[in-house]
């Protein structure tokens, strides 16, 4: 392997193109970079972008069928709106409080009080019953219901508006508690992860050998196209030509390659992964928008790189650079 010349730069200039963007979903292309950067972005989105989640629960009364620990765990997994999380402090780093939840810089207090009085109906206690001391931090269902309530077509009886179920109470049962939400990251606990799903794939480069394809009969073409588990290829019923209709649907299963070899036509199709082009799919829990998740992940990654570049003791890095650039 050839070594780069002394002082050579590995700097690249990645390009991003947004294909689809909604509040909780994004699909974009990342080009002109390698898998290490793509995977770093993915891992930061999953585990290092901060959000707010319930971390401390003080239960005053609980006569439900679920024990205190079970309810506390369910509360922690309720996604909370976290647009302001990047500006909040981690409770371990906050010097303005003792972590009891009364600090405006690092925590938010929630109260819940519910009691079943109807003998014939089961009372469903949901995330919508939580009352936040800070209107900027509330259960995602509450925020979504509030936004939809501003629309004329809002349906107050819609099942989706009930919120995430915490516990069910029968007559005489009661639940009363105080909860403290704090800033955290998914590396510490999954409840702080803002990502429901973050995946990326190499962009496939699919090329059909037209000369070999023309030697196949119509039935052979149809059989070959149908051998793909996903609809990657299309057989035009008029022109009898096989074309690539959705390259990104290819799952690198090699089924069409195996089918071509079984038909005695090796080389019928050539499929390669573009090593510098990636397609990302991002889904959030609703704690922050997909756009905020992507931008915050880039900001966190830049902070990490700056910390390495600006560290005080750079002697080891200097020796490493001299070694790599040496003869």
Q: pLDDT tens digit string along 229-287? A: 999 999 999 999 999 999 999 999 999 999 999 999 999 999 999 999 999 999 999 99
**Nearest alpha carbon to residue 165 among 131, 129, 126, 122:** 126
Fold exhibited by the domain 15-48+278-325: Gyrase A; domain 2 (3.30.1360)
How far does CA 208 lie from the centroid of its chain? Answer: 35
Nearest-angstrom CA–CA distance, 158 and 296: 33
Instruction: Write out the two tokens for 153.
Output: 């077509």
End-to-end CA distance of the chain: 13
What would you measure as the largest C-alpha separation in the chain, in angstroms? Answer: 85
Do the beta carbons of residue 255 and residue 228 sit within 8 Å?
Answer: yes
Q: Which long-range contacts (CB under 8 A, 24 or more apart) does 90-93 make?
A: 90/50, 90/182, 90/183, 90/184, 91/55, 91/182, 91/183
Q: Could you tell me the pTM of the whole model?
A: 0.83
- pLDDT given at position 1: 42
- How does pLDDT run across 118-174, given as a tens digit for each residue? 878 899 999 999 999 999 999 998 888 777 777 655 555 554 567 899 999 999 999
Domain spans of the chain, in order of start: 15-48+278-325, 51-193, 210-267
**Nearest alpha carbon to residue 78 among 110, 107, 49, 100:** 110
Instruction: Write out the two tokens for 78.
Output: 């309720």
- How does pLDDT run across 64-106, given as a tens digit for each residue? 999 999 999 999 999 999 999 999 999 888 888 876 667 888 9
**Torsion angle (degrees, nearest 10) of CA 16, 19, 25, 29:** -30
Nearest-angstrom CA–CA distance, 240 and 234: 10
- pLDDT given at position 8: 52
Mean of the per-residue pLDDT values for the chain? 88
> What CATH homologous superfamily does 51-193 map to?
DNA-directed RNA polymerase, insert domain (2.170.120.12)
**Nearest alpha carbon to residue 204 among 139, 277, 292, 126:** 277
Q: Of 157 and 292, which is predicted with more confidence?
A: 292
**3-state SS of 245-310?**
CCHHHCCCCCHHHHHHHHCCCCCCEEEEEEEEEEEEEEEECCCCCHHHHHHHHHHHHHHHHHHHHC
Nearest-angstrom CA–CA distance, 211 and 208: 9
Instruction: Write out the two tokens for 42.
Output: 């993915």
């Amino acid at each position: 392997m050839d070594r780069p010349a002394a002082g050579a730069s590995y700097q690249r200039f990645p390009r991003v193109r947004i294909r689809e963007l909604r509040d909780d979903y994004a699909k974009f292309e990342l080009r002109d970079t390698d898998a290490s950067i793509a995977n770093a972005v993915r891992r930061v989105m999953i585990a290092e972008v901060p959000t707010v989640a319930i971390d401390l629960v003080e239960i005053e009364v609980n006569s439900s069928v679920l024990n205190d620990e079970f309810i506390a765990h369910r509360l922690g997994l309720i996604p909370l709106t976290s647009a302001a999380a990047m500006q909040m402090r981690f409770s371990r780093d906050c010097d303005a409080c003792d972590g009891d939840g009364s600090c405006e810089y690092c925590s938010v207090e929630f109260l819940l009080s519910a009691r079943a009085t109807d003998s014939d109906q089961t009372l469903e206690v949901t995330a919508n019953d939580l009352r936040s001391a800070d209107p900027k931090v509330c259960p995602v269902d509450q925020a979504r219901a509030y936004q939809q309530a501003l629309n004329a077509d809002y349906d107050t009886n819609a099942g989706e508006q009930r919120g995430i179920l915490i516990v069910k109470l029968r007559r005489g049962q009661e639940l009363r508690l105080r909860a403290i939400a704090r800033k955290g990251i998914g590396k510490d606990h999954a409840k702080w992860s803002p990502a429901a799903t973050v995946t990326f794939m190499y962009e496939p480069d699919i090329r059909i050998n037209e000369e070999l394809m023309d030697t196949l009969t119509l039935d052979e073409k149809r059989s070959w196209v149908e051998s793909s588990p996903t609809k990657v290829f299309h057989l035009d019923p008029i022109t009898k030509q096989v074309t690539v209709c959705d390259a990104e649907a290819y799952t690198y299963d090699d089924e069409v390659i195996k089918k071509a070899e079984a038909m005695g036509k090796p080389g019928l199709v050539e499929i390669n992964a573009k090593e510098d082009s990636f397609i990302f799919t991002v889904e959030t829990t609703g704690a922050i928008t997909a756009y905020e998740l992507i931008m915050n992940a880039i900001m966190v990654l830049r902070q990490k790189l700056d910390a390495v570049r600006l560290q005080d003791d750079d002697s080891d890095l200097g020796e490493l650079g001299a070694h790599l650039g040496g003869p």
